[in-house]
Amino acid sequence: MNKNIIEKYFFVLLSVIPISIIVGSTVSLANILLIVFSFLINMYVNNDWKWIQNKTIRLLFFLYLYFIFNIFVSLDFTEGLNRNLGFLRFIFLFAAINYFFFYYENFKKVFIIWGFIFLFLCFDVFYESYFDLNILGYGKGFGGRVVSFFKDEAIVGGYIFSFYLIIIGYLFFDYKKNRYDYRDLFFLLSVIFILAIIFTGERSNSIRALIGFLLFYYIYFNFSTKKNLLIISIFLIIVITIIFNSNFLKQRYIGDIFYKTAAGIAMPQEEFDQLPTKEKLKKHLEQDIYVNLYKSGFAVFKNNLIFGVGNKNYSVETCTENYQKDNYYCITHPHQIYLEFLAEHGLFGSIILLSIFFILIFKILKIILISKNYLQLGCFIYLAITFFPFLPSGSFFGDFNSTIFWINLSIMYSVNRKTNIFNINK
């Protein structure tokens, strides 16, 4: 088949990845499988399998063997069967993205298309935050939380965060080849992304996005301490001003955290107000959903110390009436990445998972910094912040988060010829 046709075919498949994720997990999975199978067919036709010998690919296959093992130690192997076996698609997706960016130079233009998609998504977030409904009429029933095109899930802030550093990293990396200096424009674009995330009301993702923003620009600009402090101060003043001028944002980012009320506590407001501050905090923590989720996650880990309950088996353990005495909270996952690992994979699995993920993420950091590849830097910062220990998180192994994680990891390796797995001389 004509090489130009193949290039355009794969270019389209990668370009629509963000849209496929928005449409839903079924469409996203279908698009990824189409990429994977098309890539494998292409490898078969060209009899090109040398990449399987790459050390990074071998490490990923070792990780896959662990997931196979996890099936046999799960409480109910049928629950996590598809998730464990299906991990294979991410290995081939990783290889496919490396292949495309190694052999097709124009593939980096994919990020321009992604940029327009996410700018439109930001516009929709601002629109919904003002009119209470997005441009398609979604958003009612979430108490002010912005859902945008995700209809019934308040995850759009985390979604923007997972891609905006890729887009900004590409723009800063690509501009070096141009005689014009667009840094101020790209900085403004970053601010638009950050503000959109803040407007969603997603506290945890807003904090992650701000940390990522500050890390990226600190490394990129390498300003003096005074100039760094000035830029950070101006930006924070803008953010604080916006929050204080919105009743919803003020409640989400300040009221719900610092001003404890009797809401959710079985006692009158007047009685609650008369309690000492320490007692108020104690009462609040007793009812706080995240405190209870974390207690539950740790309890599951203690009762399944070595191997955990198995991938996607958290609800199998916690939603059983016999375990109410163990402070279990009936839900699909404990909403914290390390507790999720420990509860579902135990000490044995958590050591394997974290060791492999940290090796994959950090082993090429020196190359990224030396080569000043800001596209890679954007991916690296997102991946590193994923493992930030003090914030709530979605299920790491869920389709949405897994897909985003492996897209970032794949791009981080693929867009530098020194780290791309198809560079046989590295």
DSSP 238-265: HHHHHHHT-HHHHIIIIIHHHS--STTS
What is the structure's pLDDT at 260?
47
Is the pLDDT higher at 86 or at 321? Answer: 86
What is the structure's pLDDT at 222?
58
What is the structure's pLDDT at 262?
43
Q: What is the mean pLDDT of residues 317-335?
A: 80
What is the structure's pLDDT at 32?
96
The DSSP secondary-structure symbol of 390 reads: T
What is the structure's pLDDT at 133?
87
What is the structure's pLDDT at 268?
55
Nearest Cα neighbor of 61 from 51, 71, 74 is 51
Percent of the chain with pLDDT over 70: 84
Give the 3-state secondary structure of residue 79. Answer: helix
Nearest Cα neighbor of 301 from 233, 350, 360, 369 is 350
Percent of the chain with pLDDT over 90: 56
* pLDDT(402) > 90: yes
Q: What is the mean pLDDT of residues 409-421?
A: 95
pTM over 0.85: yes
Average pLDDT taken over every residue of the chain: 86
* pLDDT(55) > 70: yes
Range with the poorest average pLDDT among 94-108, 136-150, 225-239: 225-239
Per the rule left: phi > 0, alpha: psi between -120 and 50, beta: everything else, 47 is: left
Phi, psi of 73 (to 5 degrees): -105, 5
* Whole-Å CA distances, 4 to 41, 103, 106, 361: 17, 12, 11, 33
What is the structure's pLDDT at 263?
45
**237-269, pLDDT tens digit by residue?**
887 887 777 777 776 776 665 554 444 455 555
What is the structure's pLDDT at 137?
86
